[in-house]
């Protein structure tokens, strides 16, 4: 499926060239920009895992003209993954949190991840195109809820916990779901990537919450996709920093976001 708007378009990656573009964008963000990948992955400058090759995994790719500039994947439940993990859902996240509370008749849960936009395109329509593709393709496949974990841009347990508290102050915790998380003992004792400044931590300790930042990914998904957070920060041993587990109901996407997706689909300029 392909949608077009001027020189923008999104599509589900299907060819080797498209899948290669997906892996290259992911390496450019996670490896080249953020330095989160091992030196071994730098040999090919591609970020790929076993989940990428499952027939239940969908890769959304956004183009500006002929240039691929953004990507994300949506993993649907997979029976083989469920059997291997001893779980019920068959999603990678089930390795880290118990998702059984999300299971209900008529509910199809998918896991979006690897949301990547090349740095030079982050202030463009690329983000909205990526979200629109994620939404449209998930709807087409019958998905009702997304379960994900948003990057907190830090390996500091203290700063990750502070982000959770900021999200709570903004009213972004789920009123319906909570999941427990494993011990974060793998987190480094001496973090290399703090998010908050000493001044911001001091303000939080004094109860001065107004104006405290929240990392880009959780704030983006809370504002534009109605995400609500379902657990305290989770340490991701693959990328070696903290994430914030969340759920998004497709029936509860904010109406202004749906209007933007509709505008893209019908070739209406978002700047109009």
- The answer to whether residue 270 is domain-embedded is no
Does some domain include residue 30? yes
Domain count, the chain: 1
CA-to-CA distance for 8 and 62, rounded, in angstroms? 7
In a domain, 272, yes or no: no
> How far is the CA of 213 from the CAs of 84, 149, 176, in angstroms?
39, 18, 25
For the segment 9-33, what is each residue's pLDDT rounded down to a tens digit? 999 999 999 999 999 999 999 999 8
In a domain, residue 55? The reply is yes
What tokens appear for 14 in the block? 């299907």
- Confidence at residue 4, expressed as pLDDT on a 0 to 100 scale: 46
- Which region among 96-110, 147-161, 192-206 has the lowest average model confidence (pLDDT)? 96-110
Asked if the structure places residue 78 within a domain, the reply is yes
Q: Is residue 35 part of a domain?
A: yes
Range of the structural domain that residue 32 is part of: 2-265
pLDDT tens profile 213-246: 999 999 999 999 999 999 999 999 899 999 999 9
pLDDT greater than 70 at residue 139: yes
pLDDT: which is higher, 39 or 272: 39
Question: Pick from 125, 155, 136, 138: which is nearest to 57 by CA?
Answer: 138
Q: Is 271 contained in some domain? A: no
Six token digits for residue 42: 């730098």
HEC string of the chain equals: CEEEECCEEEEECCCHHHHHHHHHHHHHHHHHHCCCCCHHHHHCCCCCCHHHHCCCEEEEEEEECCEEEEEEEEECCCHHHHHHHCCCCCCHHHHCCCCHHHCCCCCCEEEEEEEEECHHHCCCCHHHHHHHHHHHHHHHCCCCEEEEEEECCCCCHHHHHHHHHHHHHCCCECCCCCCCCCCCCCCCCCCCCCCCCHHHHHHHHCCCCCCCCCCHHHHHHHHHHCCEECCCCEEECCCCEEEEEEEEEHHHCCHHHHHHHHHHHCCCCCCC
Q: Alpha-carbon distance 27 to 105, whole Å? A: 38
Instruction: Please report, for the domain that includes residue 65, its CATH number.
Output: 3.40.630.30
Cβ burial, residue 161 (10 Å; 0-12/13-18/19+)? middle
Place of tokens 């994430």: 243
Q: pLDDT tens, 161-183? A: 999 999 999 999 999 888 887 76
Q: Is the pLDDT reported for residue 35 higher than 90?
A: no
């Amino acid at each position: 499926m392909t949608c077009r708007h001027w020189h923008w378009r999104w599509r589900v990656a299907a060819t080797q060239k498209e899948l290669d573009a997906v892996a290259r964008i992911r390496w450019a963000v996670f490896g080249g920009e953020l330095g989160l990948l091992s030196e071994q992955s730098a040999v090919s400058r591609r970020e790929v895992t076993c989940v990428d090759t499952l027939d239940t995994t969908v890769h959304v790719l956004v183009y500006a003209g002929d240039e691929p500039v953004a990507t994300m994947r949506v993993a649907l439940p997979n029976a083989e993954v469920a059997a291997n993990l001893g779980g019920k859902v068959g999603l990678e996240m089930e390795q880290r949190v118990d998702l059984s509370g999300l299971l209900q008749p008529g509910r199809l849960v998918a896991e979006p991840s690897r949301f990547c936009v090349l740095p030079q395109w982050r202030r463009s329509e690329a983000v909205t195109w990526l979200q629109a593709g994620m939404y449209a393709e998930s709807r087409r496949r019958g998905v009702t809820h997304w379960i994900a974990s948003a990057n907190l841009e830090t390996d500091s347990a203290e700063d990750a916990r502070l982000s959770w508290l900021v999200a709570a102050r903004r009213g972004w915790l789920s009123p319906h779901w909570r999941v427990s998380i494993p011990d974060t003992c793998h987190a480094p004792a001496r973090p290399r990537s703090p998010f908050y400044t000493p001044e911001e931590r001091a303000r939080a300790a004094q109860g001065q919450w107004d104006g405290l930042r929240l990392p880009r990914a959780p704030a983006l998904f809370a504002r534009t996709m109605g995400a609500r957070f379902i657990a305290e920060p989770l340490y991701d041993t693959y990328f070696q920093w903290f994430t914030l587990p969340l759920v998004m109901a497709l029936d509860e996407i904010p109406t202004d976001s749906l209007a933007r997706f509709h505008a893209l689909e019908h070739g209406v300029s978002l700047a109009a």
